[in-house]
A and B are shown apart, each in its own frame.
Chain A
Amino acid sequence: MRSRHARERLVGAVLLGFSIVSILTTLGIVGVLLFDSAAFFAEVSPLEFFTGTSWTPLFRPANFGVLPLLAGSLLIAAGAAMVALPIGLAAAIYLSEYAHIRAKRVLKPVLEILAGVPTVVYGYFALTFVTPIIRSIWPSTEIFNAASASIVMGIMIIPMVSSMSEDAMSAVPLSLREAAYALGATRVEVATRTIVPAALSGIIASFILAISRAIGETMIVTIAAGAQPALTLNPLRGVQTMTAYIAQTAQGEAPHGSVEYRTIFAVGLTLFAITLLMNILSGLVLRRFREEYE
């Protein structure tokens, strides 16, 4: 009896120890980012970092304004959103309100596969398939450009938008649909004026989460969008995103302890803060604005 109780306590303690690893991971991420960022901000003023419009950490004179990288990330994410939000929402409406069960059985696995394609393969697709098409339409397009990365990134996040939005729409009670049909609404009117408004919190949460994913994605932009920090709104030009900068700098031999090495952590902290805030916002929208049924 005693040994069984001792074993019970031991198992409980070990499992608790395992659970603490996930907390240590968060502490590790925050700690590592803050530690080297603090060293970075001891040499570069936060004012220059957050308001400077030039990012040339490897040149002399070095400039450490993060805005071009931030603008690059936002430009690509905005382009991806323009592709993914309408297509993802329309796909969710189709799957939730129109699709026959047999059509669903084919289309949903395809969307799942689309979500599982490695991002490096998407990057290859952007560079060797989408970019030549764009360049044949607008010949002045640079080889590395924001448009190609945006489009492919948008396609990558369609499944996120469609599956989360579809879940939200499917959760709307059948009685609401029946009531709308009883009032003489057509199918499209039921979908757009009853179901979408009722599921709006889930739909918006999926939008925010998808955009957050687009900001944090690395390989597509590293391969297809270029390595040139640029404060531009022109999607046919090359831009460098925060993620691409981090990946490209880590490959170059920035000596450990140098300012160039520490830029990785300052940019990483900025990226981490933005995506974390968006993920929290997405959760808040989901809980705060949910229409409660039943």
Chain B
Amino acid sequence: MTVPDVTGSPPLDNADPHVRHDPARFDPRLRRRAAFGAVFAVVCFLATTVGVFVLAALLVDIFRDGWSRLTVEFLNGFPSRFPDRAGIKPALHGSIWVLGLTALISFPLGVGTAIWLEEYAPNNWFTRFVEINIANLAGVPSIVYGILGLALFVRAFALGRSVLAAALTLALLILPVIIIASQEAIKAVPGSIRLGAYALGATRWEAIRYQVMPLALPGILTGTILALSRAIGEAAPVIMVGALGFLAFVPTGPLDNFTVIPFQIYNWVSRPQTEFHELAAAASIVLLVLLLTMNGAAIWLRNRYYRKL
């Protein structure tokens, strides 16, 4: 027990040798601290590379299992109980159908909402409510959107297990992503551009249509492509809306039954036989190539955009 020091002077005489506030005996322990710092830096670096290693393991795993199944017959074949004859033609076509319709629905809605929020919305409670609501929608699990799609589009609107029901569900799922990305792109257009248009007699819509939009479009398209690449990889909402594991035809209209690549992967990986697992791996390669293409397009647009501004 030490006696409280009321004089304010440090108790130098009977001080413990390890007390560090004694300036005469201050030991910065530099070597120990430097060693700890070096270990810490290595640990943090290794943590960052975990992602690199896992990504490599994942790609090796999928290519090793699926490469030999990836043939022209696989891309052109229909699902089958015999793994050697099974293919992903309906899933590939289904994914493209769903993706196209999702884009047609979500792009105008998302960009329109972003334009309204950035250019038209008054600064009041309603606007704030819309923005908070969009932020919360972005965090809703995708399977909950699937439940909405099942109850609303499949049942209440009687669209059945159709391409259109899936596209509507996925469009609502990615709507917040498109809105937020489009808002960022519109915000980045300098205000002087709008003022210049107004000074020349343009109305609000004319300023947006002919001045703001051309400048914001690359950013909007980048965000939309990234959102669509999320939609093309989603399986959970599509399960809820009722994708089919065995489809003997290719969808030809928005009200046809459908399947998509992620669902086909899930369907095959759920079977115990390794032959079907190989098919799932081959379909995963196709899906990853599609995603890579879309992301490449987004990066290309982004780079073009940076050069322009």
Surface stretch bound by A, among B1-9, B12-20, B37-45? B37-45
CB distance from B221 to the nearest CB of A (A): 17
Any B CB within 8 A of the CB of A158: yes
Known contacts A94-B47, A268-B143, A272-B140: A18-B240 contact under CB 8 Å: no
Q: Which of B40, B115, B277, B281 has the most CB of A within 10 A?
A: B40
Any B CB within 8 A of the CB of A255: no
Q: Is the CB of B269 within 8 A of A124?
A: yes
Select one of B43, B57, B113 contacting A22, CB under 8 A.
B113
Residues in A with CB closer than 8 Å to B68 are none
Select one of B37, B62, B148 contacting A29, CB under 8 A.
B148
**B134, closest chain A residue (CB):** A22
A sample of 24 cross-chain residue pairs with beta-carbon separation below 8 angstroms, ordered by A number, consists of A18-B116, A22-B133, A25-B148, A87-B50, A90-B43, A98-B41, A113-B55, A114-B51, A116-B230, A119-B233, A120-B262, A120-B265, A128-B61, A128-B65, A128-B277, A212-B139, A216-B142, A216-B144, A218-B142, A218-B143, A219-B266, A223-B269, A246-B146, A264-B150
Surface stretch bound by A, among B77-85, B249-257, B284-292, B301-309? B284-292
Select one of B36, B52, B116, B133 contacting A26, CB under 8 A.
B133
Q: Is the CB of A186 within 8 A of B34?
A: yes
CB distance from B171 to the nearest CB of A (A): 10
Any A CB within 8 A of the CB of B128: no
Select one of B36, B52, B139 contacting A279, CB under 8 A.
B139
Q: Is the CB of A217 within 8 A of B61?
A: no
Fill in one digit per residue for B188-219: 1 if any A CB lies within 8 Å of its CB, else 0: 00000000000000011100000000000000
Chain B interface residues toward A at CB < 8 A: 28, 33-34, 36-37, 40-41, 43-45, 47-52, 54-55, 57-58, 61-62, 65, 108-109, 112-113, 115-117, 120-121, 129-130, 133-137, 139-148, 150-152, 155, 172, 175-176, 179, 203-205, 229-230, 233-236, 239-240, 242, 262, 265-266, 269-270, 277, 280-281, 284, 287-288, 291, 295
Q: Is the CB of B144 within 8 A of A272?
A: yes
Q: Is the CB of B41 within 8 A of A218?
A: no
Known contacts A94-B47, A125-B58: A217-B137 contact under CB 8 Å: no
Would you list which residues of chain A between 198 and 249 have a CB under 8 Å from chain B?
A: 209, 212-213, 215-219, 222-223, 243, 246-247
CB distance from B275 to the nearest CB of A (A): 13
Residues in B with CB closer than 8 Å to A90 are 43-44, 47-48
Q: How far is the CA of A250 from the CA of B287 in the complex (A)?
A: 24
Q: How far is the CA of A123 from the CA of B235 in the complex (A)?
A: 11
Chain A interface residues toward B at CB < 8 A: 4-5, 7-8, 11-12, 14-16, 18-19, 21-23, 25-26, 28-29, 32-33, 35-36, 86-88, 90-91, 93-95, 98-99, 107, 110-111, 113-114, 116-125, 127-129, 155, 158-159, 162, 184, 186-189, 191-192, 209, 212-213, 215-219, 222-223, 243, 246-247, 250-251, 256, 264-265, 268, 271-272, 275-276, 279-280, 283
Q: How far is the CA of A94 from the CA of B240 in the complex (A)?
A: 41
Known contacts A120-B235, A243-B143, A247-B236: A107-B58 contact under CB 8 Å: no
Residues in B with CB closer than 8 Å to A246 are 143, 146-147, 240
Residues in B with CB closer than 8 Å to A275 are 139-141, 144
Q: How far is the CA of A121 from the CA of B51 in the complex (A)?
A: 15
Q: How far is the CA of A120 from the CA of B133 in the complex (A)?
A: 28
Q: How far is the CA of A78 from the CA of B130 in the complex (A)?
A: 33
Q: How far is the CA of A124 from the CA of B65 in the complex (A)?
A: 11
CB distance from B68 to the nearest CB of A (A): 15
**B116, closest chain A residue (CB):** A15
Q: How far is the CA of A265 from the CA of B143 in the complex (A)?
A: 11
Residues in A with CB closer than 8 Å to B129 are 23
Q: Is the CB of B113 within 8 A of A119?
A: no
Residues in A with CB closer than 8 Å to B148 are 25, 28-29, 32
Q: How far is the CA of A107 from the CA of B50 in the complex (A)?
A: 10
Select one of B28, B57, B135, B137 contacting A184, CB under 8 A.
B28
Q: How far is the CA of A83 from the CA of B250 in the complex (A)?
A: 42
Residues in B with CB closer than 8 Å to A95 are 48
Residues in B with CB closer than 8 Å to A26 are 133, 136-137
Q: How far is the CA of A279 from the CA of B117 in the complex (A)?
A: 22
Residues in B with CB closer than 8 Å to A110 are 51-52, 55
CB distance from A34 to the nearest CB of B (A): 11
In the A-B complex, the 3 residue pairs with the closest CB atoms: A216-B141, A118-B233, A18-B112
